[in-house]
Structure 1
């Protein structure tokens, strides 16, 4: 199976989109929960970074090991227990960018056959390397839709962010809201 056309480039674009979505939030706005019973913007960013760490590890295992077992995790417990409101936005964004750049560099070295390498996810079942990369590539735009909702609720503009309004309302794909997956494991 050949490398998916444009997928690695789209994967690298995610952190750029996220950075633009949160660029003008104040510290207070990052911690605010303008949509009741939903994560703050900083919690969403931390969730994306935590998820990226998990998926990068899983992709590396699928590349290096024959059909490894890939363990899911409880993202709501991560958000509650891992000091999201004490984490630094810039550090989180930089970490996300670095992980994606490293993973993209690895992915670009792979032979075409590697895209069909599989692992067994504890919640999703059999999953290919390509499936994993597609899921993580779609993860940031999905959550930017929630950040846009928070921007609107906080009275922040989307002006100057031409691509962000098209992401609003893209919360479909099996999720009702961040941290509430109707298909367990979608972002795990």
Structure 2
């Protein structure tokens, strides 16, 4: 079973987006040419969440799958999501998160101990990949919080 603290973060960590997206800054304004806007960060989180769900499927179906590094600019969903409204992104992200939460929290210890390998982060269990997913999301939420100043 997934740790209670992990489950709690998985259930609601993303909801801070409802506070971050309506900020005073224009949602599509980039603070610099090489930095994502608030909306692009949110689109990345929505796309990354979909990619993580595909990785969970592979971890559960394959023996120790190997994952390539995720590059958002090569992800057709991310490229399309950047053009959506904040409201639409929030609806999609929240619906996908509820599904992901129900799925991950329903798994027992055996599925959560299955492993996958990444070129940078090495071999990790599904429980640890879930932690990484949440840490990655938290990084972008913090970035968005800073953009709202």
TM-score range, shorter-chain basis? 0.7 to 0.9
Structure with greater helix percent: 2
If the length of structure 1 is used for normalisation, what is the TM-score? 0.69
Aligned position for 1:167: none
Question: How far apart, in 2, do the equivalents of 1:43 and 1:51 lie?
Answer: 12
Q: 1:54 to 1:148 in 2, by over 3 A?
A: same
Contact 2:23/2:148 (CA < 8 Å) preserved in 1?
Answer: no
Which structure: larger Rg? 1
Structure 1 gap segments, 5+ residues each: 153-188
Question: How far apart, in 2, do the equivalents of 1:110 and 1:72 lie?
Answer: 25
| 3-state DSSP of counterpart to 2:148 | helix
Aligned residues: 148
CA RMSD of aligned residues (A): 2.3
Aligned position for 1:3: 2
Structure 2 gap segments, 5+ residues each: none
Q: 1:144 to 1:108 in 2, by over 3 A?
A: closer
Structure with more contact order per residue of length (Cα contacts < 8 Å, sep ≥ 6): 2
Aligned with 1:68 (options 62, 65, 68): 65
Which 4+ residue blocks in structure 1 deviate beyond 6 angstroms?
Answer: none
Mapping for residues 89-168 of structure 1, pairs under 5 Å: 89-152=86-149
